[in-house]
Amino acid sequence: MNKTILRLAIPNIVTNLTVPILSSVDTALMGHLQNPAYLGAIAVGGVVFNMIYWSLGFLRMGTTGLTAQAYGRKNDGESMLVFSQAMLVALGIGFLLLLLQYPIEQLGFWLIDSSEEVKQLAIEYYYVRIWAAPATIAVFVLNGWFLGMQNATFPMVVAILINVINIGLNFLFVYYFNMNVKGVALATVIAQYVGAAVSIGLFVSTYKSFFKHYNQQLLFQVAAFKQFFIVNRDIFIRTICLLITFSFFTAKSAASGDVILAANTILLQYLFIMAYGVDGFAFAAESLTGRFVGAKDKQGLKQSIRLSFYWGMVIALVFALVYGLAGTSLIHLFTNNETVIATAQQYMPWLILMPIVSAAAFIWDGIYIGATASVAMRNSMMAATFLFYFPAYYLLAPFLGNHALWVAMVLFMIARTVLQSLLAPKHIYQLAETKH
């Protein structure tokens, strides 16, 4: 089982780490320009796209869980139906985002309080990057389906390709063409369409036998979408809660001034790097949990869950150790602004603590997604957000200032872990022995 987990997890870790690595390059490029407003613009513009793409993460997660269970049942027709449903919804949403880009911009930047200079630069970034939406969302679905089919290699290959192209174009557009935030956005657009094209090519060439199971009549029947939409509705609500917490974190940082915003942005980059690393094992847990639930293999389910937690905590402790030993040096990688560096150092202890308190929550998410236990996952996330995160911040902010944001985030992660642990006996383990 360890070999199976690592076979899935290692490509997932590589895939996941390309996301914050790219974000880190964007942050570093902007952080080394003279005006800190460029760094703030990337952070604020990033929040708007987090609102969009995190809220649509259900397309990747729901596709993985449903496909993995079909894989466990050895039902290729069901696997193809899930892919067809997800891709139809993804492309529809992608083009809808292009049509509604102006009202989305108005709402997104109205919600975030930042300086006028940061806002204007962030809007420039937004209106270029929004054109990547159809390709980005299509890749969500393709990656989710590949993972459900126990194939973590294709998402890794595509992610590396996307990010190599993106990083190369970043340097070209920013340093040689002096395009600043527009250059960073344009690089993302080009890279996403290349990645989508390659993903489709891999799907067609490797899984062409699945096309014989394509059923257009079944695809457009409302009843066939019922499970797909029920699962994805709950994952969507769960993801919105997660999005709210991090968007609130950035919005409150921005309201505290450009220096606090820049410092928190840098520390969040390292939090995301850690999260994406641990998520390699969470994604492996998604694939294996779905597979064993579909196959009604309770012993395999228990073993995969136990070992996923073991490996997830190991990598989390490694991150905590690295942050503890090299925290100041890591901050310098993102900026040479001494005021921002000094400010970020004040909050570094929270970053060191975060891997320890959050890793189990990430692993549980993967398990619940693979089991399509979406109602329990939704409820635990809502409770952690509205009963722990927000009350903690508003109670502590008058006394602790920016530290209150970090305390609230720590409590949010702990609450997710505890609540999902308590719900697991009923909502996870019983699925492997109960017929649906």
pLDDT digits (tens, 9 = 90+) for 323-380: 999 878 888 877 778 888 888 888 999 999 999 999 999 999 999 988 888 899 999 9
pLDDT at residue 217, rounded to an integer: 65
* The pLDDT of residue 436: 41
Q: For the residues 96-106, what does the mean pLDDT come to?
A: 91
**Backbone region of residue 420 per phi and psi (left: phi > 0; alpha: psi in -120 to 50; beta: other values):** alpha
Q: Which pLDDT tens digit goes with each residue over 145-173?
A: 999 999 989 999 999 999 899 889 988 98
Share of residues in the chain with pLDDT > 70 (%): 90
Non-local CB neighbours of 288 within 8 Å, separated by 6+ positions: 4, 5, 8, 68, 300, 301, 304, 308, 370
Rounded Cα gap, residues 74 and 68, in angstroms: 10
- Contacts (Cβ under 8 Å, ≥6 apart) of 270: 323, 330, 351
What is the structure's pLDDT at 104? 87
**Cα–Cα distances in angstroms (integers) from residue 327 to residues 119, 126, 320, 386, in the given order:** 30, 31, 10, 31
User: What are the sequence ranges of the domains in the chain?
Assistant: 2-432
More confident residue, 417 or 54: 417
What pLDDT does residue 435 have? 47
174 token code pair: 């920013």
Q: What angle is formed at CA 26 by the lines to CA 132 and CA 11, rounded to 5 degrees?
A: 75
Mean pLDDT of the region 379-406: 94
State pLDDT tens for residues 8-50. Answer: 888 878 877 776 566 667 666 666 565 667 767 777 777 788 7
Give which of 300, 312, 22 is closest to 159, Cα–Cα: 22
pLDDT value for 351: 92
Q: Which residue has the higher pLDDT, 54 or 393?
A: 393
Please give the helix or strand (H or E) that residue 130 lies within, else none: none
Residues 173 and 183: beta-carbon distance below 8 Å: yes
